[in-house]
Structure 1
Amino acid sequence: MLVDMARPTPETHGEILAAAARRFAVTGYKGTSLQDIAREVGCSKAAVLYHFANKEALLGELMAPAIAVLQALDERIAEHTGAAAQRVAAEGFVDLAVRFRREIALLRDEFPDLLQQPAFTHVQQISERLLAALAAHSDRPAARIAAMVVLAGIAKACAEFADVPDEELRPALLAVAHRALEPTT
């Protein structure tokens, strides 16, 4: 069934987003074309382009809610230093990862490449500040390694344990993060 091209609807916009999320989950961002998304929705590629300027715009809209929460977390972290910044970063990132685990799962294998796109450069900068906060702004390699492992591990766990209820996953992730990220002196 093809969608009427003369009158695109808001429902079509949402259907395109949902189809893109499903396709990205199956074949990855790079492995998904606009034509693949259009085919899944049952519309033409032109209809997809009516709603989204390009595939990057589609990804941007899919990720916008998670990025907004990440930016808010970055602002909260900036209000603290040392162990307090570390605590805010760990708790905030766990909350973000649990809430947006579907988005993390969609992109986790391609995340480093996606961060190189101009639309996501600010996400790269926020990620670096998050990592520094998780390390309690320490220059010690052990603190930075622990922060990197926690950051990557939280994201991977949220993607891998999608069936675990939030009320179980969140405390488990926080417990691991707090153990791994003991403040350094």
Structure 2
Amino acid sequence: MARAVPETHHEILAAAGRRFAVTGYKGTSLQDIAREVGCSKATVLYHFANKEALLSELMAPAIAMLEALDARIAGRTGADAQRVAAEGFVDLAVRFRREIALLRGEFPDLLQQPAFAHIQQISERLVAALAGHSDRPAARIAALVVLAGIAETCGEFLDIPDQELRPALLAVAHRALEPTT
């Protein structure tokens, strides 16, 4: 009996996520994904136009939450911008820590792909909000370290429950960020 198309679609996405986590996005071929699912490369291409489309769908919920955070920080300044940005990014990192971990080390290259190009501008606005829109170098440095540090390490904490990880990350962010004046 043939498998249902939605099930195959989901299996391909899940296999892509596992492969990207093990060998990275660049180190994973469509053939690797097909082999893991037990289908042909043509079947993978029936469901997804290319590897970028696979990654785009895999990351779509996290990107949607990042875009919503970007909208929430728009127009906020000072401590309010910092608070909303820190809480929003920590919530995103906790919820999507597996997806973020998939991109470890490959994020700059992925930003060059058309589907992810707008993420660079959102990241810049997020850093500005985390800095409380301060032009002090120390504030921007702290904001960038918080953003990069949380993104880089959240995949290391897969064994920590969300209700423990969130307050720990927020405490680190609040300690690291420069108070706005």
TM-score (norm 1): 0.94
Checking the alignment, whether the CA contact within 8 Å between 1:8 and 1:47 is kept in structure 2 is no
Task: Give runs of aligned pairs for residues 28-43 of structure 1, distance below 5 A.
Answer: 28-43=24-39
Root mean square deviation, CA, Å: 1.3
Alignment partner for residue 172 of structure 1, among 160, 168, 173? 168
Matched, 1:61 2:57: yes
Question: What is residue 88 of structure 2 aligned with on the other side?
Answer: 92
Provide the C-alpha distance between the structure 2 equivalents of 1:100 and 1:153, rounded to a whole number of angstroms: 15
Q: Is the 8 A contact 1:86 1:133 kept in 2?
A: yes
CA displacement 1:76-133 (0-9 Å, x = unmatched):
0014111101110000000000000000111121011101111111111101100111
After superposition, residues 1-185 of structure 1 pair within 5 angstroms as: 9-185=5-181
What are structure 2's unaligned runs of at least 5 residues?
Answer: none
Equivalent position amino acid for 2:174 in 1: H
State the one-letter code of the partner of 1:109. Answer: G
Q: How far, CA to CA, are the matches of 1:165 and 1:127 in structure 2?
A: 26
Tell me how far 1:162 sits from its aligned partner: 1.1
Aligned mates of 1:121, 1:183 — CA distance in 2 = 31
Q: CA deviation at 1:8?
A: 5.9
Q: How many residues align?
A: 181
1:181 to partner: Cα distance? 1.1
Distance in 1, matches of 2:75 and 2:68, equals 11
CA contact (8 A) 2:86 2:130 kept: yes
- Can you list the C-alpha shifts for 1:141-167, whole angstroms capped at 9, x where unaligned? 111110011011111231111111111
SS in 1 for 2:26: coil
